[in-house]
Amino acid sequence: MERHLTVRGLVIGIPGLLVITASSMYVALRMGALPWPTIFVTVLSMAALKKARNSSLQEINVTHTIMSSGAMVAGGLAFTIPGLWMLDPDSTFPTMSLITLAVVGAILGTLFSSIFRKRLIIEEDLPYPMGIAAFNTLKASEEGGSGAKTLFTSMGGSVVFTLLRDAWGKIPALLTPFKGSALLPSFSFWVSPMAAGIGAIIGPVFALFWFGGALFGYYLLTPIGIKAGFFGDLAAADIFRQNLGIGLMIGTGLGVFIHALFSKILRPKKLEEEKPKQSRRTLFLILLVLLLAVILLSLGTELGFVEALVLIVGIYLTTYLSAMLTGQTGINPMEIFGILVLLVIQLISKPSLLASFSIAAVVAVACGLTGDVMNDLKSGHLLGTNPRDQILGEGVGGVIGAVLSVIVLLAMKNAFGGFGTSQLPAPQAAAVAKMVGGIEHVPAFLIGLFVGLALFLMKVPSATLGLGVYLPIYISSIMGLGALASLVFTRKTDKEKSQKRIGLVASGLLGGEGITGVLIAILSMFK
């Protein structure tokens, strides 16, 4: 297979990686959210390589893979570790331990993504909205014509809209048609071209389960529960709803584990005997990497050997969930997965506060990078890019991004005097700090766990349903609206052509807001 990872791709990709990683750390700490940098780095890589000699879309694809790889590593750390200093401002976290956690998380996220690629991208053909948007951007730039005009017009409109909303404050971030009551929460829309575009790309099936989960949680479960006396008020209902949603997502993970276990047991022996040598070598290398990860975690952090072993299993399951949710919805709740693995480990041991945040961080980093890798592998699959080159580029970028993320995190802590302040509120890390002590509503979580397991075994997208139950209604509503719009505008007479046009428009909406969000983040660092 042709090589698409080049020296010039590394020379261009690594400086871009450094900028994107640093800005991602800042925006994650400042805003508690992190826009996917995929389209921004796609356009940047395209601008740098398009006119270069013998360049190809595949080389550009690998280069933007390198550039984006550190962003979600930064997010994984920013969404977890600052919570330690919010609980104990005098706590010290050895720099080398932090680097070990981040690097191990980046390596495991890359490794497990390579394992999940065939099933989720090729066999199940999940949408991966950001990956499709990157593919459409590259193809439109190459082909030109009406397709390019549609995509880049949509992208330009999204850029202007986002600037009016975020930079100049001329457009509200939320629209609230219903203010709420004692029984019913308020109903809002997130005014986001990117979110509407994601809804259009994932299509009506996943969007239906997602938005259906939100409607069930907010406007069926909540009012009935309050009226029946199960919940005292909306705040109590919210706690139940959120824990139910988390349980649904984790029940899906348990279903994945059970399905994999039974598939292995029931697999005919003959197939095991006929396993090719290359597959066995690959398996040996995977086991070697996992063993090294356990050793590094045991020796380089406060985690014990048994805790590290359980942690590896937890990372495998949660990265699969992360890859699946990113593919179905474009959303990746990495910090939630970190907390859940921590809670499981707390059942078998009593990790210190430092060890607890270490567990949450390494899981969040692995899950964050997994989402980025799978989006890039999706666009690579559509383009015919060498997946090995992509995985290698992502691994190199992930490790560099891991080290840089730690440096930037500690630099910002020293520069701003800590976290949880008006300058660096780190809201996601604050939420993690609240959850370190345990699940707020165990019965709701357990109900969600068993229901999620049952639905998964019935081949229902239970994780997507759980995401709708868990997330704020304003996110789910705009995704549903985007899917509905794509359904309305799909012409029955020329369905294929209209779907392609909708895909280009949606990709432009994603790209425009993503590019603008990254630029605003970079510029805000110098204010």
The first and second tokens of residue 218, run together, are 């907010």
Find residue 187's DSSP bridge partners. 178
The answer as to whether 2 is a domain residue is no
Q: At residue 343, what are phi and psi to the nearest 5 degrees?
A: -65, -35
Q: Using alpha carbons, select from 102, 107, 62, 106 the residue that is nearest to residue 286.
A: 107
The answer as to whether 1 is a domain residue is no
Range of the domain at 15: 9-524
> Would you say 111 and 403 are in contact if contact means Cβ atoms under 8 Å apart?
no
pLDDT of residue 364: 95
User: What distance in Å separates the CA atoms of residue 239 and residue 523, rounded to the nearest whole number?
Assistant: 37
The answer as to whether 57 is a domain residue is yes
Q: Which helix (H) or strand (E) holds 324?
A: helix 305-329
pLDDT of residue 292: 95
Residue 457, CA distances (Å) to 139, 299, 428, 475 in order: 38, 39, 32, 27
pLDDT of residue 527: 61
User: What distance in Å separates the CA atoms of residue 482 and residue 311, rounded to the nearest whole number?
Assistant: 37
User: What distance in Å separates the CA atoms of residue 282 and residue 261, rounded to the nearest whole number?
Assistant: 20
Please tell me the total count of domains within the chain: 1
The answer as to whether 19 is a domain residue is yes
User: What distance in Å separates the CA atoms of residue 52 and residue 46, rounded to the nearest whole number?
Assistant: 10
User: What distance in Å separates the CA atoms of residue 280 and residue 320, rounded to the nearest whole number?
Assistant: 22
User: What distance in Å separates the CA atoms of residue 311 and residue 302, rounded to the nearest whole number?
Assistant: 13
The first and second tokens of residue 131, run together, are 């990956």
Per-chain mean pLDDT for the chain: 87
The answer as to whether 204 is a domain residue is yes
pLDDT of residue 271: 44
* pLDDT tens figures, 62-94: 999 999 999 899 999 999 999 999 999 888 899
The answer as to whether 4 is a domain residue is no
The answer as to whether 268 is a domain residue is yes
Find residue 441's DSSP bridge partners. none
pLDDT of residue 137: 87
Q: Which residues of the chain have pLDDT under 70?
A: 1-2, 31-33, 35, 144-145, 260, 263-278, 422-423, 491-494, 496, 518, 521-522, 524-527
pLDDT of residue 524: 66
What is the pTM (predicted TM-score) of this model? 0.82
Residue 305, CA distances (Å) to 195, 308, 316 in order: 42, 5, 17
pLDDT of residue 521: 65
> Would you say 368 and 76 are in contact if contact means Cβ atoms under 8 Å apart?
yes
User: What distance in Å separates the CA atoms of residue 343 and residue 85, rounded to the nearest whole number?
Assistant: 20
User: What distance in Å separates the CA atoms of residue 234 and residue 29, rounded to the nearest whole number?
Assistant: 28
The answer as to whether 501 is a domain residue is yes
Q: Which helix (H) or strand (E) holds 167?
A: none
